[in-house]
Every structure is written in structure tokens, then in C-alpha cells.
């Protein structure tokens, strides 16, 4: 069975600090996909990134970066120079090949204080 664990339940940082959200997953599939979603206080779920199991390249998008390590089954998310607008619940998720049968982690609530 697939499982996603998000190590931190809540994190609180001061604006401009860097913060890393940890995600550890379990799967028996050889082909799978990993995702990060953001849920701001308004409640909608916003897709951030998808990573394929066969592509271990790290990715950077502005202040966001993702580190995928198959050897440790981890897919960590770092926000550099955090801002108040980054305050949200962040979910890590895992799916089987072709995007079926998503499993979400319990979420990490990030609070960025001014």
C-alpha cells in the first residue's frame, strides 16, 4: 500500500527565513508520481509541482525548490526567503502510474510571521 508521511505537523518561521518541509513516501511501484499542493487560508487547493519517479533532478521555481531522493524515498520542499503570503497548509501526494489512486499526506501547516 502507498503511504505519505509529512514529518512536520506545523512550522512557524519569521519572514525572510528559509524553511524546508519534509515528505517521505512508501510505494512498491517502480513508476509513480510525487506532487506538492498548497492550501492557503481561503481553502482552495493549488498544484505546485509534479515529479516523476524516473527523474531525480531537483527543481527550482523562484523562491521554491524541491529535492527528490529515491534512495531515501523523500521529496522535500524548500521555500527560500519566506513571505507572509507563503502561510498555508502544504500537502505532499503520491500517485500510481498515469495519475491514478492519489494518496495525500496529512499536511504541514506553515505560518510565516512578519
Partner 1 sequence: NAGVTQTPKFQVLKTGQSMTLQCAQDMNHEYMSWYRQDPGMGLRLIHYSVGAGITDQGEVPNGYNVSRSTTEDFPLRLLSAAPSQTSVYFCAGTPGLATLVYEQFFGPGTRLTVL
Which residues lie near partner 1 (CB under 8 A)? 9, 33, 35, 43-45, 47, 50, 91, 95, 98-107
Alpha carbons 11 and 47: distance in angstroms, whole number? 20
Secondary structure of residue 86 in the 3-state scheme: helix
Which CB, 3 or 16, lies closer to partner 1?
3
Would you report the helix, strand and coil content of the chain in percent, each value rounded to 5?
A: 10, 55, 35
Quote the least distance from Cβ 22 to partner 1, whole Å: 15
Closest CB to partner 1 among residues 9, 71: 9
Rank residues 69 and 101 by Cβ distance to partner 1 and give the closer one: 101
Provide the minimum distance between the beta carbon of 44 and partner 1 in the complex, in angstroms, as a whole number: 6
CB of 2 to partner 1, least distance (A): 10
- C-beta closer to partner 1: residue 81 or 99: 99
The SS3 of residue 84 is helix
Please, what is the minimum distance in Å from the beta carbon of residue 111 to partner 1?
16
Instruction: Count Cβ neighbours within 10 Å for each residue of 50-60 and write b for 16 or more, e otherwise.
Output: ebebeeeeeee
Amino acid at each position: 500500500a502507498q503511504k505519505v508521511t509529512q514529518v512536520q505537523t506545523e512550522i512557524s518561521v519569521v519572514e525572510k527565513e528559509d524553511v524546508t518541509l519534509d515528505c517521505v513516501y512508501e510505494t512498491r511501484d517502480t513508476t509513480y508520481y510525487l506532487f506538492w499542493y498548497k492550501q492557503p487560508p481561503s481553502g482552495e487547493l493549488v498544484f505546485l509541482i509534479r515529479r516523476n519517479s524516473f527523474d531525480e533532478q531537483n527543481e527550482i521555481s523562484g523562491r521554491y525548490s524541491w529535492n527528490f531522493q529515491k534512495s531515501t524515498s523523500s521529496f522535500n520542499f524548500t521555500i527560500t526567503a519566506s513571505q507572509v503570503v507563503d502561510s498555508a497548509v502544504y500537502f505532499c501526494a503520491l500517485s500510481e502510474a498515469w495519475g491514478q489512486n492519489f494518496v495525500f499526506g496529512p499536511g504541514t501547516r506553515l505560518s510565516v510571521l512578519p
